[in-house]
Structure 1
Amino acid sequence: MIQCRSLTYCLPFTCLHSIFNVQTGDEVYSNEEYSHVQIDALSLFLMYLVEMICSGLQIIYNTDERGSKYNNGSTELHSSSVGLAKAALEAISGFSLFGNQGCSWSVIFVDLDAHNRNRQTLCSLLPRESRSHNTDSALLPCISYPAFTVDDDALYYQTLDKIVHKLKGKYGFKRFLQDGYRTANEDKNCRHYKPAEMKLFDGIECEFPLFFIYMMIDGVFRGNPAQVKEFQELLEAVIQSFQSFEGHAVIPKYYYVPADFVEAEQKNHGSQKRFPSNSGRDGMLFLWGQALYNIAKLLVDGLIRPKDIDPIHRYVPRQDQRNVSMRYSNQGPIENDVVIHVALIAESQRLKVFLNTQTPQQVEPIQIWPQKELVKAYCFLAINKKLGLSGRPEGPVDCIGTCKIYRILGKTVVCYPIVFDLSDFYLSQDVMLLIDDIKNALQFIKQYWKMPGRPLFLTLIREDNIKGSRFNPILDMLTAFKKGNIGGVKVHVDRLQVEQNKEYHNSFEELELPKHSKVKRQTSTPNASDLEQQPEISTEEWLLKSTFEILQKFNDCDCLASQAQLASILLRKDCPDFFDRNVIISLLYCVVFTMSIVRLAASLLTKLVDSLAPSITRILVHGKQVTLGLFGHEEIVISNPLSPGVIKDIIYSMCSPHGEREAVLQQELVIHIGWIISNNPELFSGMLKIRVGWIVQAMKHELKIRAGDMPPQDIYQMSPSAVKQLLLDVLQPQQTGRSWLNRRQIDGSLNRTPLGFYDRVWQILERTRNGIMLGGKHLPQLLMVVSYMLERNPELEFQEAVDLHRLVKDAFAGFQKDHSRLDRSEKENNMEAFYNTPALGKRNTSSYLSKAVMIQLLQGEVKPSKDDPCSVS
C-alpha cells in the first residue's frame, strides 16, 4: 500500500539519503549534518523502480528539505515534492513489483482519494513553489521530465514562464531567489540562517547549469526546437569556458561568485565572472548533471527517442490524452463525461415501501459496509513482517474509494460514502448540509473518476431525514435523481443488482487477516426509532408532585425530552423563595433552542469534527495562514499542517475559556472555509490570514445589520447550514446593500486588503527612514493613498516614521472643517460619519487622506534630481 503522508510520519534515520559516496554507496552526512527527509527523493526512487522493472531488470528486495526559503528550521509544503509524489503514485498504481513473475499479492495498491488530494494540493500551490518560495528551479523536473505531473497546459506554461523569468542566469538557473547555498556570504558553520540574513545573498545566488539541461530535454519532448537551441547554446558557452575531463565536457554542480567579487556583483547584477564548483569544495564531478547531459546530447543528436527514456509513458501529448489508456495509472484520460450510478438504500422496511427503494437485506449476497469497516480492511493491506511493514495507517476512505465495487475474501462488497457516516459531531444531523455534501461528493466524483465502468454512489435514506421540515428538501433531491441530473452531474438511478455482474474495481482475495481478527459486516444502520428518546414521564402525574421531587428527577434524568417537560412543569408551579426562577427559564431556554444546547454540549464534551486537519491543510496550500482564537483575545497562528490532536488542543485552549460554544462554532467554520477556498478561492483574495475568530465577529456584525432595530439573531442558535450560508454572504466583496461604514467594518474583521496592498506597503517602507506607526486604526486605503503619492512624487520622502494614526486624525480634521462649514454646525468628534463616507466621489475619504499625506510630505526634505532639467537656483 503506497500512500503519501505528512512529514510527521517520516523518521530521519529511515529516510533515503540525499548524498551517497560514489565508490561505496555509504552515507556522506548524518542527519545531524544534513537533512534527509526528502519526499521528492523517495518519489524519484519509486518512479525509477517502475521504469527499471519495465525495462526487464529483476529487483531483489532485501528533499528533509531546507524547509522554508529562510532556512530557519521550519518546514512547509513544496509544490515540487507534492508533484513528484503525485507522479510516483500514478506510476506505481497497479504495478507488480516482480514484473512478469509477480502475482496478485505483489501488486501495489494506491489510495486514489489520497492521490486526488495530492492533485488538488499541487494545483492550489502552483505556480508557486511554497508559501515562502515564489518559484523554484526544483519545479522543472516536476512539471517536465521525468515526472510530467501537471495535466493543465495553461498551468504548466504559467509555472515555466515564472521559473525562466525570475531564475534564469548566464551560467544556469538559480535554485530560488536569495538562496544562500554555497555563496561566499553563507556561514558554513551554521545549519540555519539568522533572521534577515537572506538579504546578504541577494544577487549572488549560485547558478546551476543542470537546469539548462532540463530545458533542453523538455524542448525535445514537447517538439520545441527553438527552446532546445537556445539552452544548448547557453550551456555550451558556459562549459567551453572551463576545463574538460579527458576530452569530455564537465558539467559543474554550480557557478558561484568569489568573495572578492561579491560587493561589485550586488551593486551591478551580472557584472562579475563566476567560477565552477569543481574548483571549490564540492569535488570534480557532479554525476547528476553529467548523466543528464549525456541523455540530452543523445536526444538532441537523434540517437535515442523520448519514449526510450520514458518507458512508463509519463508524457502524453495533450491531443492524445483522450485516446490513451495509461497502463500504470488508474487516472486514464484527462477528460470524461461520467454517469454516476445511484442506488437508493432505505433504512427501514417502512421507508422502502414508501419510497420504492431497497433495504440492505434485499441486495444480498452483496454486502453493504459503512466506510469505517472498509477502513479496517484497508489496514490489513501490505502487512509484511519480513520487510517491517505494518500496513496502511487508519484514515477515512473518501468519495472515490467508496464508489468502487470490491471483491474481499470471496464476497462482493460495496460501501456507503463517508457523508452518510453518523458522526458524534452534530453536523451530520443537518439535512441541508447533508444534501450539500452529497452534491459536492457527486461533483468531485464526476471530476476525478478515471477508472473503467461507472462509479457506484449508495444513497442512504434514514427515518429522521424525512421528518417535519426535512421532508421537502430530501424529496427535491430524490426528484433530481430521478430526472438524471443533479447540480450538473449526470446520474442514473437503478437497483444495486444491476451492477453486480460488472468488473470489480479492486480485488482483495488474498487479504491476510491476523488470527482472531474479523472484519465486521454491517448490512444496515441502527433503526431510527431505537435512537429516539421518548419522554419517560407523565405531565399530569408530575404536576401533582413537589418542587423538590421534580428538581431531583430533573437532575437524575438522562432524557432530554423529559428534562424539557420537567422544566416546563417547574415554570408552571409557584417556586418557593429559595429557588431562583431565572434558573428554570435558562434551563428551558437551553432545551427548547436546540442548536444552542447542542453546541454547548459538544463543547463541554470537547468534541472534534471529522476532517478538521484536512480542511486546515486546504487553506494552507492556498497560501493562507489560519488563526484560531476569539475576537479580542489571544490567537494561535497555524502555518503548517498539524495533526487532529494538536488542533483540538489549540482550539479548546484558545476558545473555551472565553466562550464555551465558540470552540465548536470555529470548527464548523474551518470545515466550511476549507470547502469554500477549494471551490471559490477568489472570495479570499486580499486575505493573507484567515482569522476565524474575527470572521465570527464579522458574521455577528452582519446579523446586527440585518436585524436593524430588532434584536439580532443568535449565531449559536443557527443551524450549521444557515451558518455556512451566512459565511458565504459575509465573504461576498462589495455588497451594494451595505453602507460604507459596514463595508469597512466587515472588511476590517475579515482582514481583507485592496489589490496590491502589500506591494504598496513595501514601496512605502523603501521611502520611509523610520518605518510605519499604526495607531490601532485599520484603514488599508490610507496606505494605498500614501503609496500613490510617493509614486507620483519620486523627489519626496518621509523624514520621520509614518504615523498612520496622525494622518487619519489630520484627514478627519479636514473632513470636520468642511462639513461644519457646509452644514453650518459645530464640529463633532464622532468619526462614524467619516468612516461612512464613500472612498471615491466628491468630498470622499481618499481626497482628505491625500491632502493629509501631501501636507506631511511637503514638511519634509525635497531631494533634487540631477536628471531633472528644471531647477530653480
Structure 2
Amino acid sequence: VPDFGMWERGSKYNNGSTELHSSSVGLAKAALEAISGFRLFGNQGCSWSVIFVDLDAHNRNRQTLCSLLPRDSRSHNTDSALLPCISYPAFAVDDDALYSQTLDKIVRKLKGKYGFKCFLWDGYRTANEDKNCRHYKPAEMKLFDGIECEFPLFFIYMMIDGVFRGNPAQVKEFQELLEAVIFQSFEGHAVIPKYYYVPADFVEAEQKNHGSQKRFPSNSGRDGMLFLWGQALYNIAKLLVDGLIRPKDIDPIHRYVPRQDQRNVSMRYSNQGPIENDVVIHVALIAESQRLKVFLNTQTPQQVEPIQIWPQKELVKAYCFLAINKKLGLSGRPEGPVGCIGTCKINNIYRILGKPIVCYPIVFDLSDFYLSQDVMLLIDDIKNALQFIKQYWKMPGRPLFLTLIREDNIKGSRFNPILDMLAAFKKGNIGGVKVHVDRLQVEQNKEYHNSFEELELPKHSKVKRQTSTPNASDLEQQPEISTEEWLLKSTFEILQKFNDCDCLASQAQLASILLRKDYDLERIYRRAGMRISLLYCVVFTMSIVRLAASLLTKLVDSLAPSITSILVHGKQVTLGLFGHEEIVISNPLSPGVIKDIIYSMCSPHGEREAVLQQELVIHIGWIISNNPELFSGMLKIRVGWIVQAMKHELKIRAGDMPPKDIYQMSPSAVKQLLLDVLQPQQTGRSWLNRRQIDGSLNRTPLGFYDRVWQILERTRNGIMLGGKHLPQLLMVVSNMLERNPELEFQEAVDLHRLVKDAFAGFQKDHSRLDRSEKENNMEAFYNTPALGKRNTSSYLSKAVMIQLLQGEVKPSKDDPCSVS
C-alpha cells in the first residue's frame, strides 16, 4: 500500500503524493514474521486465540521488499529509513548480498561528519525551506542540494548493527564519529542532538563546496526537550558496547541469527530464509470423472471420502470467519485468494466442524477468463507453483500438491502435453523439483494441524464434471460477414442480420459493429447476452474468443497483483493503444479501477485489444519477477507499444508472406512471442529491426539517463526532440562533451537537426561509394551498425562536433591544455 513513509512526506518531492516504500514494507514483513503463531493466552488458550499469518501474502511481501531494494521508493534512490528495516530492530532482509548492497548505498550516499542525511535533497529544517508551505514547489528540491540536515541518530544504528554482526571495526568507527557530535547537559548527561543544520549565512559556501562549513546542532537538549528516539537508542548502544547486555537481550525472538548458528536455533521467528533442504512435494492426482480415473489410474473425489476436496475459493469463504470480533470492530479476513503455500500448508488437511478438508491450488480454479483454457499455460503455472513451494517452504512436514485432471485437459492436442507432465510426475522430478506421487489416503491418518472447529461451514461446490463441449464443426466456425461492408449498413439491418444469423462468430462481429455505432450495450446484451456468453465458452477460434470476452468486459484474475509486481521493480505501466492516448499507472490500483482504464482506453479503438493487454500484463508481471534483466533500460512498460513490437516481430518472421494475426494466437503462443521480443540484441536481426523493436519497447542503452543529465548541465536551453531519432545519439553527444570539457552548447540541442546532418553525411559517402543518386529514404541509415567502419556513431559524432564548433568555445579553468 503506498504511504507517506517514515518521514511522512511521501514522494521525495514533497508534493502530497504517496509511494510504495521498501522501509514500510520491510517493517510490516518483520512484524508479521514476529507475530506468526503467537498464542494470545499462552498454554491456557486454544485454536481461536492463535495468530495466523497468511504465508502467501507474507512471501509476496518478501518478494516486494527484495524487488524494491536497494531503493526505498520510486523517487528515493536510498534513505536512512532503511537502516532500522534491514538492521536492528526489524532485520527484515534475509539475503546477505542484498543487505550489503543496501547498506553500502546508504553509507556511501548519506553519511556525513555529523550524522546521516535522511535522503538526498531533504529540505527538512534547512535554512532554505519555506516553513509556511506544506508542500514544495516544482524544482524547489534543488535549493536543498548539499545542505540537508544530518542526524547523529543513524551513527547509533550503525554501532548496534556492528555489535549484532560481530564487526568491531564498524562499532569503533561510528562510536568515534558519534562522540564528536554529542554534548553534555547541565547535569553532565550525554545528549543526542536531533540533527545538525547549516545556518543561512553559510548556505552558499556549503553548496559551492560540500562539507566545507561548520554545522550547528538543533535545540534538542538545550530547550529542556530531549530527542527521545536518539536518547533511547544511545542507551541501548552503550550497554551493548560496554558488554552489560547481549544482543539476544534486545532480540528475544531471534530476529537476527548469525549464519553459523542457524542450525542450532528455532527459525520460526527469524528473518532468515529456509536453510537449504531437499524438500520433496507430495503430489496427489485427482480425476474429474470415473472414466478419467480408470484411464489414468488415479482417484476421484468420491474415493477420498471422508476427506472433502474444496477449491481454494471455498477455503477463502471459511477464512472470512477468522478474526471476527464485533467488540473490536474486526470483520474477518478479506476475500483474497489463498496461494500455493496456504493450500499446501501442513499436508493441506484442515478440520472444519470435524470434517477433514483438502484444497487444490489456485491454478486449478476455473476462471471465466479464457486463459484458464490454455493447457500450456496451465502446465507452466503448475511448474511455477511447484518451484515457488520448493523455494519458500519453511514448515515441518511434506507439502501436498493436489493436482486436478479435467476432461477438457486431455482432448485433442492437449493430451500429449498433459501426458508428458504426468510422466514427469511419475519419474519424481518436474522442472528440477522433486515430487512423490501417491494416493491421498496415505496422508489421511496423519495429524490435522489446522483446526477451525468454531467456523460455520460454508456451502461449497464440490468438484463436478464439466458439461461436454459441442462438436468440432461448431467450435471452428469462421465469420460469414465482412466487417468493412457491414459498418456501412444501418443499425436496423445489422440487428435483423444478428437475429437471423446462426453463426456464433458472425454474431460476435455484428455485436462489435453495433458497439462502434454507439448502440446501447445493455440492449445488445438483452438481445444477445446468452449467445455471446455461449460463443465465449465454446469457440476455440482465439480471435473470436477475445472479441466475445471484450464484449462481455471480462477481467482476468490477478491483474492488480501483476501490475503491482511491475511497479515494485521501479517501472511504470501505461495502458492504451499504440498511437492513441495512454494512461500512466504509478501506484497500485484496485481491479475495478484497472478494468475501467483498460476498457475505456482500448475498446474504442479495437475491441480485442482490451483483453490482449490484460494477457500481456499477466505475462509481464510474471516475467519481470523471474527475469527482471529483460526489462533493463525500460522505465515505462508501455503495453500498447509492446503489442506493436510483437506485431512487427510477426511481420519480420513472415517475410513476404502475410503475417500471423496476433489476436488469433493462443495465450501460450502470445507469451512465447513476448519473451522472444524482450530478448535484447537477438542474433540474426538486422540493425533496422533491432532499432525498431527497441524503439517500440522504449529500451535505452546502459547509462542513458545519466548521460541526458550530463547534457542538460552543459546545455543552456535544454534539448529539443522532434521527428525520428536514435537513442544512441544522446550517448554520442555525452561522450563528446566528456572528452571536450572546454565546449558547451550555446543553443538548444535539436536532436532532429543532428540526425538530419548525420544522415546527410551518410548520403554523401554512400552515393560516392555506390556512384548512385542521393535518396531521402533513411532505411539504409537505420540499418547501419552502431559500431565498426562507417557506422552511425561516426556520422553522429561528426554532426555533434560541427554544431559544437559553430558555437562559442569557452575555455575551462581546469582544462590542462593551453597555448602560450
> 1:537: Cα distance to partner?
21
The verdict on how the C-alpha distance between 1:568 and 1:70 changes in structure 2, with shifts beyond 3 A counting, is closer
> Within 2, Cα distance between the matches of 1:752 and 1:668?
21
User: SS of 1:293's equivalent?
Assistant: helix
CA–CA separation in structure 2 for the residues paired with 1:538 and 1:628: 29
Question: How has the CA–CA distance of structure 1 residues 438 and 554 changed in structure 2, closer, same or farther, with 3 Å as cutoff?
Answer: same
Gaps of 5+ in 2: 1-7, 518-528
Give CA deviations for 1:37-79 in whole Å, capped at 9, x if unaligned: xxxxxxxxxxxxxxxxxxxxxxxxxxxx321111111111111
Seen in structure 2, the aligned counterparts of structure 1 residues 559 and 585 have a Cα distance that, compared at 3 Å, is closer
- Note the alpha carbon deviations across 1:718-755, whole angstroms, 9 max, x for none: 00000000000000001111111110000000000000
Contact 2:255 2:270 in 1 (8 A): no
Q: Is the contact between residue 256 and residue 271 of structure 2 (CA under 8 Å) also seen in structure 1?
A: no
Shift of 1:268: 1.6
Q: Which moved more, 1:554-563 or 1:70-79?
A: 554-563
More divergent stretch after superposition (825-834 vs 520-529): 520-529
CA distance in 2 between counterparts of 1:606 and 1:636 reads 19
Q: Is the 8 A contact 1:322 1:333 kept in 2?
A: no
Alpha-carbon distance, 1:844 to partner = 0.8
Counterpart Cα distance in 1 of 2:631 and 2:151: 37
Do 1:367 and 1:523's aligned partners in 2 also have CA atoms closer than 8 Å?
A: no
After superposition, the C-alpha distances for 1:532-557 in whole angstroms (9 at most, x for unaligned) are 99999999999999999999897378
Structure 1 residues 527 and 403, CA, compared in 2 at 3 Å: closer, same or farther? farther
Q: Could you tell me whether the CA contact under 8 Å between 2:30 and 2:271 is conserved in 1? A: no
**What secondary structure does 2:231 align onto?**
helix
What displacement does 1:325 show? Answer: 2.3
- Is the deviation greater in 586-595 or in 779-788? 586-595
Residues 571 and 77 of structure 1: is their aligned pair in 2 closer, same or farther, counting only changes over 3 Å? closer
What is the CA–CA distance in structure 2 between the aligned matches of 1:543 and 1:762, rounded to whole Å?
A: 50
- Structure 1 residue 530 displacement after superposition: 16
User: Structure 1 residue 278: deviation in Å?
Assistant: 2.0
C-alpha deviation, 1:226, in angstroms: 0.7
Cα distance, 1:467–1:855 mapped onto 2, change above 3 Å: same
**SS of residue in 1 equivalent to 2:730:** helix
Q: 1:447 offset after TM fit, Å?
A: 0.5
Indicate if the aligned counterparts of 2:323 and 2:332 stay in contact, CA closer than 8 A. Answer: yes
* SS of structure 1 residue aligned to 2:387: helix
Check conservation: 2:310, 2:461, Cα contact below 8 A. Answer: no
Question: Any idea what the Cα deviations from partners look like across 1:83-109, whole Å, max 9, x if unmatched?
Answer: 111110100001012344433222111
SS in 2 for 1:407: strand
Q: Structure 1 stretches of 5 or more lacking a match?
A: 1-64, 574-581
Query: SS of the counterpart of 2:219?
Result: helix
1:177–1:521 Cα change, 3 Å = farther
Query: C-alpha distance in 2, partners of 1:269/1:539?
Result: 68
Q: Is the Cα contact below 8 Å between 2:92 and 2:271 reproduced in 1?
A: no
Q: Deviations over 1:766-790 (max 9, x none)?
A: 1111110111224110000001111
Change in Cα spacing, 1:431 to 1:129, as seen in structure 2 (3 Å) is same
**Larger CA deviation: 185-194 vs 136-145:** 185-194
Deviations 1:260-316 (A, max 9, x none): 222221112112222222269986201111111111111111111110111111011
Quote how far apart the aligned CAs of 1:658 are. Answer: 0.6
Note the 1:473-622 alignment, pairs <5 A: 473-511=417-455, 555=499, 560=504, 594-622=541-569
**1:586-634 superposed Cα distances (whole Å, 9 cap, x missing partner):** 9999998710111001111111100000000000000000000000000
Larger mean Cα displacement after TM superposition, 586-595 or 666-675: 586-595
Change (3 A) 1:766 1:305: same
Distance 1:484 1:562 in 2: 48
Deviations 1:388-439 (A, max 9, x none): 1011111111111111221222111110111111100000000111111111
Contact 2:123 2:144 in 1 (8 A): yes
Q: Secondary structure at the match of 2:285?
A: strand
**1:569 deviation in Å?**
23
Residues 212 and 231 in structure 1, CA contact (< 8 A), matched pair in contact too: yes
Cα separation, 2, equivalents of 1:503 and 1:332: 26
Contact 1:216 1:227 in 2 (8 A): yes
Distance 1:476 1:609, change over 3 A: same
Structure 1 window deviating more from structure 2 (700-709 vs 513-522): it is: 513-522
Query: Normalised by the size of structure 1, how large is the TM-score?
Result: 0.85
* Matched-pair contact (CA < 8 Å) for 1:257–1:275: yes
CA contact (8 A) 1:373 1:519 kept: no
Q: Distance in 1 between matches of 2:814 and 2:637?
A: 46
Structure 1 residues 793 and 343: alpha-carbon distance in aligned structure 2, compared to 1, 3 A threshold: same
CA deviation string 1:632-674 (max 9, x = no partner): 0000001111111111111111111111100000000000000
- Inter-partner Cα distance in structure 1 for 2:491 and 2:127: 85
Do the aligned residues in 2 keep the contact of 1:748 with 1:778 (CA within 8 Å)?
no
SS in 2 for 1:279: coil
Distance 1:307 1:812, change over 3 A: same
Q: Equivalent of 2:166, from 190, 199, 223? A: 223
Q: Give 2:682's aligned residue.
A: 735
The offset of 1:564, in angstroms, is 12
Identity across matched positions, percent: 98
CA distance 1:865–1:447, change in 2 (3 Å): same
Change (3 A) 1:547 1:190: closer
Shift of 1:872: 3.3
Alignment-derived partner of residue 5 in structure 1: none
1:222-271 per-position Cα deviation (integer Å, ceiling 9, x unaligned): 111111111111111111xx342521101111111122222221112112
Change (3 A) 1:505 1:728: farther
Cα deviation 1:685-726 (Å, max 9, x = unaligned): 000000000000000000000000011000000000000000
- Asked if the contact 2:480–2:506 (Cα under 8 Å) also holds between the matched residues in 1, the reply is yes
CA gap 1:148/1:127 in 2 versus in 1, 3 angstroms: same
Which of 375, 389, 404 matches 1:460? 404
Verify the 8 A CA contact 1:167 1:174 in the aligned structure 2. yes
SS at match of 2:180: helix
CA pair 550-462 structure 1, distance change in 2 beyond 3 A: farther
Instruction: For residue 587 of structure 2, give the secondary structure of its aligned residue in structure 1.
Output: coil
RMSD: 5.3
CA distance in 1, matches of 2:327, 2:817: 84
* CA contact 2:539–2:545 (8 Å) conserved in 1: no
Secondary structure of the 1:343 match is: strand
Distance 1:568 1:758 in 2: 43
Contact conserved, 1:332 with 1:451, CA < 8 A, in 2? no
Residue number among 351, 364, 368 corresponding to 1:407 in the alignment: 351
Using the alignment, how far apart are the partners of 2:316 and 2:135 within structure 1?
Answer: 41
- Could you tell which deviates more after superposition, 274-283 or 71-80? 274-283
User: Is residue 128–residue 135 contact of structure 1 (8 Å, CA) maintained in 2?
Assistant: yes
2:152–2:195 Cα contact (<8 Å) kept = yes
Task: Pick closer, same or farther for the CA change 1:515–1:811 going to 2, 3 Å.
Answer: closer
- Aligned mates of 1:234, 1:550 — CA distance in 2: 81
Give TM-score scaled by structure 2 length.
0.90
CA drift at 1:516: 14
Check conservation: 1:209, 1:252, Cα contact below 8 A: yes
CA pair 139-560 structure 1, distance change in 2 beyond 3 A: same
Quote how far apart the aligned CAs of 1:510 are. 2.7
Deviation at 1:336, TM superposition (A): 2.5
State the number of aligned residues.
799
Contact kept, 8 Å, 2:128 with 2:143, in 1: the verdict is yes
Q: Indicate conservation of the 8 Å contact 2:498/2:510, yes or no.
A: yes
Distance 1:568 1:869 in 2: 70
Match of 1:690, SS state, is strand
**2:53 paired residue number:** 110
Cα distance change of structure 1 residues 283 and 99 upon mapping to structure 2, 3 Å threshold? farther
Distance 1:689 1:565, change over 3 A: closer
Confirm or deny: 8 A CA contact 1:790 1:797 kept in the other structure. yes
> Secondary structure of 2:356's partner?
strand
8 Å contact 1:369–1:521 — kept in the other structure? no
Distance 1:526 1:830, change over 3 A: closer
